Structure 1
Amino acid sequence: MRLLTALLLLCGVVLGGCGGSGSDTTVSVLGSWTGQEEVSFRAVLADFQKRTGIHVDYTGTRDARAVLASELHDGRPPDTAVLSRIGDLRGYAAGGDLRPLSGLPHGADDGLTTAAGPDGGRRPYGIVVKATVKSLIWYNPRTIPSGLRDRLTAPPRSWADLAEAAAESTGARPWCLGLADTSNSGWPGTDWIEDVLLHESGPEVYDAWVSGRLPWNSAPVRNAWRAFGSVVAGARGGTNGILLTGYGQAGAPMFTDPPGCLLDHAGSFATAFYNQAASRPQPGRDYDFIPFPGRRAVEIGGDVLGMFRDTPAARRLIAYLTTAHAQEIWIKRAGSGAFSLNRAVPPERYPDRLSQRIAQTLTSAQTVRFDASDSMPTVMAAAFDHAVLEFAADPRDPRLDTILTALDQVRRTTRFPS
């Protein structure tokens, strides 16, 4: 996390440490934030404009990835762009499209917001504007069986402990699970496999796997897939239900009477979906969470801003967005679901007790890692998503052998950034 502290110094060092030319009165930003996310981001930008007099031209579109690729192809990239996949950022850095963020103290890089490029990854190429905290297990304190609730209160010390407690629960199916998404179905299953691997095998194994150095058919990866297979076997709705249920609706049966499932593995974004339930559930009373058991580690999803045109205005915006002041504007907005990696932002700045506890889980973690599939090259990530759907349809060992062999073939033929 040292980089996050160092980025606070960016206002003082980046302006004098970077070259480049371009506008000092306007900066363009391309991003995928629309709806309430765009409203929150524009609140941050409004404060920046008031402080600096620099106009920010923000374009929000769900097709931001395709728009960016088209604009780069035409030689007219935006000054900055927000990328939802750290793997995309690393790819653009390696291809020379991104400008490095110069001026950071030597050795202050902890790897969270860097992307490997032509310089071997020695300099950061992006900043995390906001994060989603994953590695959370959600439940409804009002409807969960008392025995399972007591087991969660302890809480479980390992994945095996949690799996045992879930298997012993009576009544409803233990696991809520939905793998469907309009853009790329399967990713909720990749989150499961990633969390098991990170918390059971540790960050070194996780990093080797993400970087393409650890085979998919190795024992740690295989064991993580088997753990996910046990979740599939205990999930509500069976195979068809899992494949057809949207990830945002998977946890809704926790709020029915009687409940249809008891435990939902989802990131901090889940609260926005829970709040839409007909019973109007309240945080803390109707839904609560425990951290994923095992090592004190947290997986995050990060929206990362990179600089495609090195202009004075772009550098000033990047410097501003790293500050605690800027990030607090966003996180204080109720329902924003935004979390900051800046340790200068204390948990009590978040708008409710539940969000404060999630923030504390993040700040107290010994290990923080980006979502693995978001960090992998696009072709590897796509194969991973598809493999999860195949496995969910038939989670038996013979099928798993075939799936992992195919994934490892993709790994061997894919170029991973160094």
Structure 2
Amino acid sequence: MRRLTAPLKRCALVLGLLLAPVACGEPEKAKVTIMVPWSGTEFKAFYAVVKAFERDHDIDVEPQVTRALTQQLDAAVAADAKPDLAVLPSVGAIAKYREEGALWKLSVDTDAYVQPFRGLGMNGADVYAVPVKADVKSLIWYDARVTPQPPGSWTALRARSDRWCLGLESGPTSGWPGADWIADILLADKGVGPYTAWASGDAKWHKGPIEDAWTAWGDLVAGARKGAATFNFRAAAEKMTTRGCSLSHGALSAMAFESAQVRDDGYTYVPSSREALQVSADFVGKFTGNKSADEFLTYLASAQAQRAWVNEPGFALSADNRVTEYDNATQGRIAALLRSPRYTLCFSAADAMDPDVSAAFYRAVLDSTNGKDLTPLLEALNRVQKELGYAHPESPPPPGPFCSPPSHP
């Protein structure tokens, strides 16, 4: 046994030397980090797309999930610890990071996307962000088995005595559901001109069309204000008819509905306007020179990935004209509104504003819901806008067309 020890050691050494180059020669997979705000079914849908990409590419995608995306991304940019990619929830955020020089130009083709999604995220001919998930916000939801179909205008709706489902809590961005609602009333009642003037910072908050929209919204939800500021927006419409409310407002993805509940014999919707719809998107922008991030972003924007994404849980919509088949028929009909020649599509007003103005807007929604007098709140928003909004000479304009009729490539 002793005599065998030395040969065995030599053999082990030789084997080790032979195997070492193989192990050392294995290249590490490329990695892409992406900061996202999604949770629950929305994140599951996104992660299914990630896994499909990883199966066909030698790249690992590492999502960084945070509810406080704006704050986390600001901190990462300031500390030079940026993710490769990040979801940008508004065109105002795109403008902000582009102006700061944090966003990289992209070579992603968005020609198949409908307007205004195609142009937003652009500066001239340069693309800085790609809309990977879309929403239609101008929808009024009801249970068709219990509630009569509501009229498709805010004027007619104010004449009804329905109780609205109202929830405004959404973590660091609490208040945004009310902000979208106010914007929707303004867009439907006053039209595209006053709406874009407000979103661009060229209109006063405390008088005229904007004050009228706030007042109309306050009257509409007067019976639902109690506790709304701390009630989660997704839970607000859940089991709406058993909770004592019968109508809800907002995008399908913001409703806590199961897929089976939004079939023709269950929860359904009417658009809140016959002419203009408020829409939104989650964009993805690039913050580093990682070439693999370009590959992943190109995939996210492709028709292949978009078709897969919309048929995962979470009710995502695609702004890509080539994506027309949805497993859920109600979801598919909503997506068709994006391609309809009937509607002008306008991005959410708060999405176009400087992120700090949007944040002040959301806080004012919460304060007004909690009973604070509206006039001083709106006057304060005037001051915030003057200091930070797009009316300020140094502030960048929202990128791309803010409102536009759908167009086909």
Q: TM-score range by the shorter chain?
A: 0.7 to 0.9
Q: Is the 1:114–1:126 Cα contact (8 Å) retained in structure 2? A: no
Match of residue 143 from structure 2: 140
Q: Is the 1:24–1:311 Cα contact (8 Å) retained in structure 2? A: no
Match of residue 376 from structure 1: 353
Per-residue deviation, 1:70 = 2.8
Structure 2: which 5+ runs fail to align? 1-27, 391-395, 398-409
1:405 aligns with 2:379: yes
Is the alpha carbon distance of 1:28 and 1:138 closer, same or farther for their aligned partners in structure 2, counting shifts above 3 Å? same
1:6-56 CA distance string (max 9 Å, x none) = xxxxxxxxxxxxxxxxx9944332222344333322222233333343332
* Structure 2 counterpart of 1:322, one-letter code: A
1:126 aligns with 2:129: yes
Secondary structure of the equivalent of 1:326? helix
Is the alpha carbon distance of 1:36 and 1:247 closer, same or farther for their aligned partners in structure 2, counting shifts above 3 Å? closer
Match of residue 316 from structure 1: 295
Q: Is the 2:142–2:268 Cα contact (8 Å) retained in structure 1? A: yes
Secondary structure of the equivalent of 1:178? coil
Per-residue deviation, 1:103 = 7.3
Match of residue 258 from structure 2: 275
Per-residue deviation, 1:384 = 0.9
Residues in 2 aligned to 1:355 and 1:128: alpha-carbon distance in whole angstroms: 18
% identical equivalent positions: 33
Secondary structure of the equivalent of 2:64? strand
Which aligned pairs between 1:357-396 and structure 2 lie closer than 5 A? Answer: 357-364=333-340, 366-394=343-371
Q: 1:356 aligns with which of 332, 339, 362?
A: 332
Q: Is the 1:93–1:116 Cα contact (8 Å) retained in structure 2? A: no
Match of residue 10 from structure 1: none
Residues in 2 aligned to 1:105 and 1:370: alpha-carbon distance in whole angstroms: 17
Residues in 1 aligned to 2:268 and 2:35: alpha-carbon distance in whole angstroms: 35
1:145-173 CA distance string (max 9 Å, x none) = xxx43xx3xx53x3212322x23xxxxx4
Is the alpha carbon distance of 1:284 and 1:71 closer, same or farther for their aligned partners in structure 2, counting shifts above 3 Å? same
Residues in 2 aligned to 1:282 and 1:110: alpha-carbon distance in whole angstroms: 27
Q: Is the 1:129–1:321 Cα contact (8 Å) retained in structure 2? A: yes
Q: Is the 2:114–2:338 Cα contact (8 Å) retained in structure 1? A: no
Match of residue 157 from structure 2: 162
Residues in 1 aligned to 2:170 and 2:40: alpha-carbon distance in whole angstroms: 18
The normalised TM-score by structure 1 is 0.78
Match of residue 345 from structure 1: 323
Match of residue 53 from structure 1: 58
1:212-263 CA distance string (max 9 Å, x none) = 1222134221221121022122x34xx324334332232246332xx61221
Residues in 2 aligned to 1:46 and 1:105: alpha-carbon distance in whole angstroms: 23
Q: Is the 1:113–1:126 Cα contact (8 Å) retained in structure 2? A: no
Match of residue 89 from structure 2: 84
Residues in 1 aligned to 2:220 and 2:172: alpha-carbon distance in whole angstroms: 23
* Structure 2 counterpart of 1:338, one-letter code: A
Secondary structure of the equivalent of 2:307? helix
1:226 aligns with 2:202: no
1:284 aligns with 2:289: no
| Root mean square deviation, CA, Å | 2.9
Per-residue deviation, 1:281 = 4.7
Q: Greater CA radius of gyration, 1 or 2? A: 2
Per-residue deviation, 1:324 = 1.1
Q: Is the 2:93–2:354 Cα contact (8 Å) retained in structure 1? A: yes
Residues in 2 aligned to 1:253 and 1:317: alpha-carbon distance in whole angstroms: 38
Structure 1: which 5+ runs fail to align? 1-22, 168-172
How many aligned positions are there?
363
